[in-house]
Amino acid sequence: MRGYKIFSGSANIEFAKKISKYLSLPISNAGVKRFSDGEISIQIDESVRGKDVFIIQSTCAPTNDNLMEMLILTDALKRSSASSITAIIPYFGYARQDRKAMPRVPITAKLVANLMQTAGIDRVATIDLHAGQIQGFFDIPVDNLYGSIVFSQYIQGKHYKNPIIASPDIGGVARARSVAKSLGLDLVIVDKRREKANESEVMNIIGDVKDKEVILVDDIIDTAGSITKAAEAFKQNGAKSVMACCTHAVLSGSAYERIAKDSLDELVVTDTIPLREELSKIKVLSVAPIFGEVIRRVYYNESVNSLFI
Protein backbone atom coordinates (compact mmCIF):
# COMPACT_ATOMS: atom_id res chain seq x y z
CA MET A 1 0.00 0.00 0.00
CA ARG A 2 1.13 3.55 -0.68
CA GLY A 3 0.67 4.63 2.93
CA TYR A 4 -1.10 7.74 4.16
CA LYS A 5 -0.37 10.76 6.31
CA ILE A 6 -2.48 13.28 8.17
CA PHE A 7 -1.73 16.98 8.43
CA SER A 8 -3.49 19.58 10.52
CA GLY A 9 -4.09 23.26 10.01
CA SER A 10 -4.18 25.55 13.02
CA ALA A 11 -7.99 25.92 13.23
CA ASN A 12 -8.64 23.00 15.58
CA ILE A 13 -5.47 21.24 16.70
CA GLU A 14 -7.21 19.32 19.49
CA PHE A 15 -9.66 17.81 17.01
CA ALA A 16 -6.76 16.64 14.82
CA LYS A 17 -5.08 15.10 17.87
CA LYS A 18 -8.21 13.06 18.60
CA ILE A 19 -8.22 11.74 15.03
CA SER A 20 -4.52 10.98 15.34
CA LYS A 21 -5.18 8.99 18.51
CA TYR A 22 -8.06 7.08 16.88
CA LEU A 23 -5.88 6.09 13.93
CA SER A 24 -2.73 5.51 16.03
CA LEU A 25 -0.97 7.70 13.49
CA PRO A 26 1.02 10.82 14.38
CA ILE A 27 0.21 14.17 12.81
CA SER A 28 2.82 14.86 10.15
CA ASN A 29 4.97 17.95 10.44
CA ALA A 30 4.30 21.13 8.51
CA GLY A 31 5.64 24.52 9.48
CA VAL A 32 3.01 27.27 9.42
CA LYS A 33 4.38 30.80 9.66
CA ARG A 34 3.19 34.30 8.89
CA PHE A 35 5.01 37.21 7.36
CA SER A 36 4.80 40.54 9.14
CA ASP A 37 1.93 41.62 6.88
CA GLY A 38 -0.10 38.52 7.75
CA GLU A 39 0.62 36.41 4.66
CA ILE A 40 0.75 32.68 5.39
CA SER A 41 3.89 30.66 4.69
CA ILE A 42 3.90 26.85 4.85
CA GLN A 43 6.68 24.30 4.49
CA ILE A 44 6.15 20.51 4.56
CA ASP A 45 8.83 19.06 6.85
CA GLU A 46 8.75 15.46 5.61
CA SER A 47 8.38 13.54 2.36
CA VAL A 48 4.85 12.95 1.05
CA ARG A 49 5.82 11.61 -2.37
CA GLY A 50 3.32 8.96 -3.47
CA LYS A 51 1.36 9.20 -0.21
CA ASP A 52 -2.39 9.66 0.26
CA VAL A 53 -2.64 12.81 2.37
CA PHE A 54 -5.51 13.98 4.61
CA ILE A 55 -5.68 17.63 5.69
CA ILE A 56 -7.73 18.32 8.85
CA GLN A 57 -8.95 21.90 8.92
CA SER A 58 -12.23 23.57 9.88
CA THR A 59 -12.87 26.82 8.04
CA CYS A 60 -14.26 28.48 11.17
CA ALA A 61 -13.30 31.89 12.56
CA PRO A 62 -11.01 33.44 11.53
CA THR A 63 -12.63 31.97 8.43
CA ASN A 64 -10.53 33.64 5.75
CA ASP A 65 -7.22 32.81 7.46
CA ASN A 66 -8.18 29.16 8.01
CA LEU A 67 -9.45 28.78 4.45
CA MET A 68 -6.29 30.27 2.95
CA GLU A 69 -4.15 28.14 5.24
CA MET A 70 -5.86 25.00 3.93
CA LEU A 71 -5.49 26.09 0.30
CA ILE A 72 -1.80 26.92 0.71
CA LEU A 73 -1.16 23.65 2.56
CA THR A 74 -2.88 21.81 -0.29
CA ASP A 75 -0.72 23.55 -2.89
CA ALA A 76 2.45 22.69 -0.94
CA LEU A 77 1.43 19.03 -0.74
CA LYS A 78 0.47 18.89 -4.41
CA ARG A 79 3.85 20.35 -5.42
CA SER A 80 5.52 17.79 -3.13
CA SER A 81 4.07 14.94 -5.24
CA ALA A 82 1.39 13.66 -2.87
CA SER A 83 -0.61 10.92 -4.59
CA SER A 84 -3.99 12.27 -3.42
CA ILE A 85 -5.23 15.02 -1.12
CA THR A 86 -8.42 14.69 0.93
CA ALA A 87 -9.70 17.69 2.89
CA ILE A 88 -11.30 16.76 6.22
CA ILE A 89 -13.40 19.87 6.92
CA PRO A 90 -15.42 19.36 10.11
CA TYR A 91 -17.01 22.80 9.69
CA PHE A 92 -17.46 24.08 6.13
CA GLY A 93 -17.42 27.88 6.23
CA TYR A 94 -19.37 30.05 3.77
CA ALA A 95 -21.97 27.26 3.42
CA ARG A 96 -24.81 29.65 4.31
CA GLN A 97 -24.32 31.55 1.03
CA ASP A 98 -25.46 28.69 -1.21
CA ARG A 99 -27.88 30.46 -3.59
CA LYS A 100 -28.91 33.86 -4.91
CA ALA A 101 -31.52 34.80 -2.33
CA MET A 102 -31.42 38.43 -3.50
CA PRO A 103 -30.27 40.24 -6.66
CA ARG A 104 -26.55 40.93 -7.14
CA VAL A 105 -25.20 38.64 -4.42
CA PRO A 106 -22.53 35.91 -4.71
CA ILE A 107 -22.90 32.16 -4.29
CA THR A 108 -19.88 31.94 -2.03
CA ALA A 109 -20.18 28.22 -1.27
CA LYS A 110 -19.63 27.54 -4.98
CA LEU A 111 -16.67 29.93 -5.06
CA VAL A 112 -15.06 28.09 -2.12
CA ALA A 113 -15.67 24.76 -3.85
CA ASN A 114 -13.91 26.07 -6.95
CA LEU A 115 -10.97 27.32 -4.89
CA MET A 116 -10.53 23.93 -3.20
CA GLN A 117 -10.58 22.04 -6.47
CA THR A 118 -8.21 24.48 -8.17
CA ALA A 119 -5.78 24.17 -5.26
CA GLY A 120 -5.64 20.41 -5.82
CA ILE A 121 -8.03 18.80 -3.34
CA ASP A 122 -9.24 15.42 -4.66
CA ARG A 123 -11.94 14.62 -2.09
CA VAL A 124 -13.83 16.39 0.72
CA ALA A 125 -15.31 14.99 3.91
CA THR A 126 -17.44 17.21 6.13
CA ILE A 127 -20.40 16.92 8.48
CA ASP A 128 -23.86 18.48 8.39
CA LEU A 129 -23.45 20.85 5.48
CA HIS A 130 -25.84 23.77 5.88
CA ALA A 131 -27.39 22.80 2.54
CA GLY A 132 -26.99 19.35 1.04
CA GLN A 133 -26.94 20.71 -2.52
CA ILE A 134 -23.47 22.16 -1.88
CA GLN A 135 -22.16 18.68 -2.65
CA GLY A 136 -23.18 19.39 -6.25
CA PHE A 137 -20.91 22.45 -6.34
CA PHE A 138 -17.93 20.07 -6.43
CA ASP A 139 -16.75 17.87 -9.31
CA ILE A 140 -14.95 15.62 -6.84
CA PRO A 141 -16.34 13.14 -4.27
CA VAL A 142 -17.90 14.77 -1.19
CA ASP A 143 -18.82 12.82 1.94
CA ASN A 144 -21.41 14.73 3.98
CA LEU A 145 -21.63 12.96 7.34
CA TYR A 146 -24.46 13.21 9.86
CA GLY A 147 -24.12 14.57 13.39
CA SER A 148 -27.45 12.94 14.25
CA ILE A 149 -25.55 9.74 15.11
CA VAL A 150 -23.94 11.19 18.24
CA PHE A 151 -27.01 13.28 19.11
CA SER A 152 -29.38 10.31 18.94
CA GLN A 153 -27.18 8.31 21.28
CA TYR A 154 -26.98 11.23 23.73
CA ILE A 155 -30.76 11.83 23.65
CA GLN A 156 -31.46 8.15 24.32
CA GLY A 157 -29.19 8.34 27.34
CA LYS A 158 -31.28 11.16 28.85
CA HIS A 159 -34.27 8.81 29.36
CA TYR A 160 -36.86 11.55 28.88
CA LYS A 161 -40.45 10.63 29.79
CA ASN A 162 -42.22 12.69 27.10
CA PRO A 163 -39.69 13.94 24.52
CA ILE A 164 -40.42 15.58 21.18
CA ILE A 165 -38.08 16.74 18.39
CA ALA A 166 -38.32 20.32 17.10
CA SER A 167 -37.02 22.14 14.05
CA PRO A 168 -36.15 25.82 14.67
CA ASP A 169 -37.34 26.76 11.16
CA ILE A 170 -38.97 25.35 8.04
CA GLY A 171 -35.63 24.88 6.30
CA GLY A 172 -34.37 22.47 8.98
CA VAL A 173 -37.40 20.14 8.91
CA ALA A 174 -35.64 17.38 6.93
CA ARG A 175 -32.75 17.32 9.40
CA ALA A 176 -35.03 17.27 12.46
CA ARG A 177 -37.32 14.68 10.88
CA SER A 178 -34.34 12.37 10.36
CA VAL A 179 -33.53 12.50 14.08
CA ALA A 180 -37.20 12.11 15.03
CA LYS A 181 -37.50 9.05 12.79
CA SER A 182 -34.39 7.40 14.22
CA LEU A 183 -35.72 7.87 17.75
CA GLY A 184 -39.38 7.14 16.96
CA LEU A 185 -40.51 10.58 18.17
CA ASP A 186 -42.97 13.20 16.94
CA LEU A 187 -41.92 16.49 15.39
CA VAL A 188 -42.90 20.13 15.91
CA ILE A 189 -41.81 23.13 13.85
CA VAL A 190 -41.09 26.76 14.68
CA ASP A 191 -42.46 29.17 12.06
CA LYS A 192 -40.44 32.36 12.19
CA ARG A 193 -39.89 35.53 10.19
CA ARG A 194 -36.30 36.70 9.79
CA GLU A 195 -36.17 40.49 9.61
CA LYS A 196 -32.45 40.63 8.72
CA ALA A 197 -29.29 38.55 9.00
CA ASN A 198 -28.62 37.06 12.45
CA GLU A 199 -31.97 38.31 13.81
CA SER A 200 -35.24 36.39 13.93
CA GLU A 201 -38.70 36.61 15.45
CA VAL A 202 -40.60 33.48 16.44
CA MET A 203 -44.11 33.70 15.03
CA ASN A 204 -45.80 30.36 15.66
CA ILE A 205 -45.26 26.79 16.83
CA ILE A 206 -46.70 24.09 14.60
CA GLY A 207 -47.52 21.26 16.99
CA ASP A 208 -48.17 20.71 20.71
CA VAL A 209 -45.33 20.94 23.25
CA LYS A 210 -47.32 21.16 26.48
CA ASP A 211 -45.71 19.10 29.28
CA LYS A 212 -43.05 17.79 26.89
CA GLU A 213 -39.24 17.79 26.84
CA VAL A 214 -38.41 19.62 23.62
CA ILE A 215 -35.23 18.76 21.71
CA LEU A 216 -34.33 21.38 19.10
CA VAL A 217 -32.18 20.05 16.25
CA ASP A 218 -30.12 22.31 13.95
CA ASP A 219 -26.82 22.31 12.06
CA ILE A 220 -25.41 25.68 13.17
CA ILE A 221 -25.85 27.85 16.23
CA ASP A 222 -24.38 31.27 15.51
CA THR A 223 -25.60 34.23 17.56
CA ALA A 224 -28.06 31.91 19.37
CA GLY A 225 -30.90 34.35 18.70
CA SER A 226 -33.14 31.87 16.88
CA ILE A 227 -32.52 29.02 19.32
CA THR A 228 -33.08 31.03 22.49
CA LYS A 229 -36.22 32.72 21.14
CA ALA A 230 -37.56 29.34 20.09
CA ALA A 231 -36.82 27.97 23.55
CA GLU A 232 -38.67 30.88 25.11
CA ALA A 233 -41.67 30.26 22.85
CA PHE A 234 -41.71 26.57 23.79
CA LYS A 235 -41.63 27.41 27.50
CA GLN A 236 -44.48 29.89 27.02
CA ASN A 237 -46.46 27.10 25.36
CA GLY A 238 -46.01 24.75 28.31
CA ALA A 239 -42.81 22.81 27.53
CA LYS A 240 -41.19 21.24 30.61
CA SER A 241 -37.64 21.69 29.28
CA VAL A 242 -35.82 22.68 26.10
CA MET A 243 -32.54 21.19 24.91
CA ALA A 244 -30.82 22.16 21.65
CA CYS A 245 -28.57 19.85 19.61
CA CYS A 246 -26.48 21.83 17.10
CA THR A 247 -23.55 20.33 15.22
CA HIS A 248 -21.50 23.49 14.68
CA ALA A 249 -21.01 25.85 17.63
CA VAL A 250 -20.13 29.08 15.82
CA LEU A 251 -21.35 31.08 18.85
CA SER A 252 -20.47 34.57 17.67
CA GLY A 253 -21.41 37.95 19.08
CA SER A 254 -23.37 37.74 22.34
CA ALA A 255 -24.25 34.05 21.91
CA TYR A 256 -22.73 32.95 25.22
CA GLU A 257 -24.64 35.62 27.13
CA ARG A 258 -27.93 34.59 25.51
CA ILE A 259 -27.38 30.91 26.28
CA ALA A 260 -26.46 31.64 29.89
CA LYS A 261 -29.53 33.73 30.72
CA ASP A 262 -32.32 32.53 28.43
CA SER A 263 -34.85 29.70 28.48
CA LEU A 264 -32.55 27.07 26.98
CA ASP A 265 -31.82 24.37 29.56
CA GLU A 266 -28.98 22.64 27.72
CA LEU A 267 -27.00 23.08 24.51
CA VAL A 268 -25.35 20.00 23.01
CA VAL A 269 -22.75 20.63 20.30
CA THR A 270 -19.89 18.76 18.64
CA ASP A 271 -16.19 19.62 18.56
CA THR A 272 -16.08 20.64 14.87
CA ILE A 273 -15.34 24.18 16.12
CA PRO A 274 -13.33 24.88 19.29
CA LEU A 275 -15.33 26.78 21.92
CA ARG A 276 -14.15 30.25 22.92
CA GLU A 277 -15.18 29.65 26.52
CA GLU A 278 -16.75 26.99 28.70
CA LEU A 279 -20.32 27.23 29.94
CA SER A 280 -22.12 24.84 32.28
CA LYS A 281 -25.10 24.65 29.91
CA ILE A 282 -22.94 23.52 26.97
CA LYS A 283 -22.14 19.84 26.47
CA VAL A 284 -19.57 18.92 23.79
CA LEU A 285 -19.70 15.56 21.97
CA SER A 286 -16.77 14.48 19.81
CA VAL A 287 -17.18 13.48 16.17
CA ALA A 288 -13.42 12.96 15.73
CA PRO A 289 -13.76 9.13 15.86
CA ILE A 290 -16.27 9.31 12.99
CA PHE A 291 -13.82 11.28 10.85
CA GLY A 292 -11.01 8.96 11.89
CA GLU A 293 -13.04 6.01 10.63
CA VAL A 294 -13.82 7.88 7.40
CA ILE A 295 -10.10 8.44 6.80
CA ARG A 296 -9.38 4.76 7.35
CA ARG A 297 -12.19 3.65 5.05
CA VAL A 298 -11.31 6.10 2.29
CA TYR A 299 -7.71 4.92 2.31
CA TYR A 300 -8.66 1.24 2.20
CA ASN A 301 -11.43 1.84 -0.38
CA GLU A 302 -14.17 0.71 1.99
CA SER A 303 -17.74 2.00 2.12
CA VAL A 304 -18.25 5.28 3.98
CA ASN A 305 -22.03 5.17 3.62
CA SER A 306 -22.23 1.94 5.63
CA LEU A 307 -21.24 3.96 8.71
CA PHE A 308 -24.78 5.37 8.76
CA ILE A 309 -26.82 2.29 7.92
Residues with a known catalytic role = 192
DSSP strands (E only) in 9-92: 30-34, 40-44, 52-56, 84-89
C-alpha closest to that of 272 among 75, 77, 130, 117: 130
pLDDT at 180 over 60: yes
Same domain? 106 vs 164: no
Same domain? 71 vs 190: no
Same domain? 136 vs 155: no
Residue 185: give its domain's CATH number: 3.40.50.2020
Same domain? 153 vs 223: yes
Q: How far apart are the first and last CA of the chain?
A: 28
Same domain? 113 vs 239: no
Tens-place pLDDT, residues 71-93: 999 999 999 999 999 999 999 99
Its domain, for residue 76, covers 4-146+288-308
Same domain? 20 vs 107: yes
Same domain? 34 vs 87: yes
Same domain? 28 vs 107: yes
Mean per-residue pLDDT over the chain, rounded: 93
Helices (H) and strands (E) in the chain, counts: 8, 14
Same domain? 251 vs 295: no
Tens-place pLDDT, residues 245-269: 999 999 999 999 999 987 899 999 9
Same domain? 133 vs 212: no
Same domain? 169 vs 243: yes
pLDDT tier at 199 (50, 70, 90 boundaries)? low
Tens-place pLDDT, residues 268-289: 999 999 999 889 999 999 999 9
pLDDT at 306 over 90: no
pTM of the predicted protein model: 0.93
How many domains does one find in the chain? 2
pLDDT at 155 over 90: yes
Same domain? 134 vs 166: no
What is the structure's pLDDT at 195? Answer: 59
